[in-house]
């Protein structure tokens, strides 16, 4: 598996409840651009429309060696998932206030492009602050232990 890009902000802004792998429908110049690592998942999200799963606001730069038939950078792209999985997601997204956030875009060993989607619930500002404080406390504790071990 070769990771193309990750959405690091998603784990900061959301509590990820479940992750799932989906395929994505792309045109040729998009795949070539992804091989060059030209993608960005910032501000992107997935939605369900008429029983189909769509990825919005994912920026895949136009292929540098492409011609006038190059792709639109932020077009909505179809995600591939089984119908029963999509129906299960519809229940979560509509009833319980969850959202679908792309976490990672990557190539499989077979050369296919996959998207790791997360079923996520938004964090409140206080939760974000608490998480940052815990991370800093952990880092300070590790630093203190390291300093203590160095003095011995």
Give strand pairing partners of 47.
54
Across 30-34, 111-115, 121-125, which has the greatest mean pLDDT? Answer: 111-115
In this structure, are residues 6 and 103 in contact, taking their beta carbons and an 8 Å threshold?
yes
In this structure, are residues 116 and 106 in contact, taking their beta carbons and an 8 Å threshold?
yes
Q: Which CATH architecture has domain 2-122?
A: Beta Barrel (2.40)
Distance CA 118, CA 115 (A): 10
- Checking if the pLDDT of 55 tops 80, the result is yes
Average the pLDDT over each of 82-86, 123-127, 147-151 and give the range with the smallest value. 123-127
CA atoms within 13 A on the CB side of 85: 15
What is the average pLDDT value for the chain, to the nearest integer?
Answer: 83
In this structure, are residues 99 and 122 in contact, taking their beta carbons and an 8 Å threshold?
yes
Tell me which H or E stretch contains 18.
strand 14-24
Nearest Cα to 86, choosing from 46, 45, 48? 48
Q: Per this entry, what is the length of the chain?
A: 152
Using DSSP, state whether 103 is helix, strand or coil: strand
pLDDT, mean of residues 108-135 = 83
Domain borders along the chain are 2-122
pLDDT at 152 (0 to 100): 66
């Amino acid at each position: 598996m070769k990771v193309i890009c990750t959405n690091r902000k998603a784990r900061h802004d959301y509590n990820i409840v479940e992750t799932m792998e989906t395929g994505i429908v792309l045109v040729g110049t998009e795949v070539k651009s992804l091989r060059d690592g030209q993608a960005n998942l910032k501000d992107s999200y997935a939605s369900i429309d008429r029983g189909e799963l769509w990825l919005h606001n994912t920026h895949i730069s136009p292929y540098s060696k492409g011609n006038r038939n190059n792709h639109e950078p932020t077009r909505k792209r179809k995600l591939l998932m089984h119908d029963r999985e999509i129906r299960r997601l519809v229940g979560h997204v509509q009833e319980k206030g969850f959202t679908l956030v792309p976490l990672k875009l990557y190539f499989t060993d077979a050369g296919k492009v996959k998207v790791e989607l997360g079923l996520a619930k938004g964090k409140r500002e206080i939760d974000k602050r608490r998480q940052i404080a815990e991370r800093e406390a952990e880092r300070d504790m590790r630093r203190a232990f390291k300093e203590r071990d160095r003095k011995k």
